[in-house]
Amino acid sequence: MSFSKTAWTEIMPIYKSIIEHPFNQELAQGTLAKEKFQFYMKQDSLYLVDFSRALALTASKAQNPDDLVLLLDFSKGAIIAERSLHEFYFDFYGIQLDISQAPGCFSYTHFLISTATHANYEEALGALLPCFWIYREVGMYIHKNAAKDNPYQKWIDTYSGEEFQEIVQNAIDLTDRVATRANAKQTEQMLEAFVISTRLEWMFWDSAYRMEQWKP
């Protein structure tokens, strides 16, 4: 069984919790409070900058030049493609990026950067993959279940669209290729990092739904 199949089986209960979370259920129905969506978009903008950094750090560990180029393309794409989505909603709502990372965003990005910096290449890939894969699955789920005239349709279209599907499949294929050359310890580290990132994905949605603030 490939690494990706093993990993997805491992996180199925967490993924189910992500799908069932009120943020995603209400987003699908178009009833999510715009204040919560705006908070989410701001946090996601902050997240993507550090996600791009983590991808670039991981690319520096790649021994295969093709893998290095692919990861750098991912890093560039995270800034260019998804930032256009943020800019659309920032303009639409007339809002600005005027907040810092909430605890959920901070925890996730610091885990990714720390792993990309200090862990091996295999583990870093395992940590990065859920951001691609979970978003694709959530986007496809919401696309299938979205209410008509959904105010968040552009977000839904972005993460369920063919262009994003291709990017995600490339990330899965890369991780599977690297996993075939990994030893048992490295594979275990990859899986552990994959599970932790998936949990942090849930925390990110939950943080946005609660419009989480630092305490005290």
For 154-164, write each residue's pLDDT tens digit: 999 999 999 99
In a domain, 9, yes or no: no
pLDDT for res 78: 80
Report CA torsion sign: 215, 192, 81, 85.
Answer: negative
Contact 19, 141 (CB under 8 A): yes
- Measured CA distances, 168 to 31, 73, 74, 130 (Å): 28, 12, 10, 10
Within-domain flag for 114: yes
Query: pLDDT at residue 83 above 80?
Result: no
- Counting every residue, how long is the chain? 216
- Cβ atoms of 55 and 75 within 8 Å: the answer is yes
Tally of domains within the chain? 1
By the 8 A CB rule, do 61 and 52 touch? no
Contacts 24+ apart (CB under 8 A), 90-93: 90/41, 93/34, 93/38
Q: In which element (H, E) is residue 43 found? A: helix 34-59
Give the residue, 80 or 132, on which the prediction is more confident: 132
Q: What does the pLDDT read at residue 82?
A: 72
Residue 108 confidence (pLDDT) = 98
CA dihedral 104, 73, 123, 110 (to 10 degrees): -30
> What is the full DSSP assignment across 102-116?
-HHHHHHHHHHHHHH
For the ranges 47-61, 77-91, 192-206, the lowest mean pLDDT is seen at: 77-91
Confidence of residue 58 (pLDDT cuts 50, 70, 90): very high
Is position 64 within any domain? yes
- Per-residue pLDDT tens digits for 163-183: 999 999 999 999 999 999 999
What are 41-52's pLDDT values in tens digits?
A: 999 999 999 999
Whether 5 is covered by a domain: the verdict is no
Structure-model confidence comparison of residues 82 and 68, the more confident one: 68
Write out the residue range of the structural domain in which residue 59 sits.
35-210
Instruction: Please check whether residue 197 lies inside any domain of the structure.
Output: yes
pLDDT, position 84: 85
CATH number of the domain bearing residue 96: 1.20.910.10
Query: What was the pLDDT predicted at 45?
Result: 94
Q: What is the pTM of this model?
A: 0.97
Q: How far is the C-alpha of 128 from the C-alpha of 103, rounded, in Å? A: 19
How many CB atoms are closer than 10 A to CB 78?
A: 23
Place of tokens 């919401």: 142
Percent of the chain with pLDDT over 90: 94
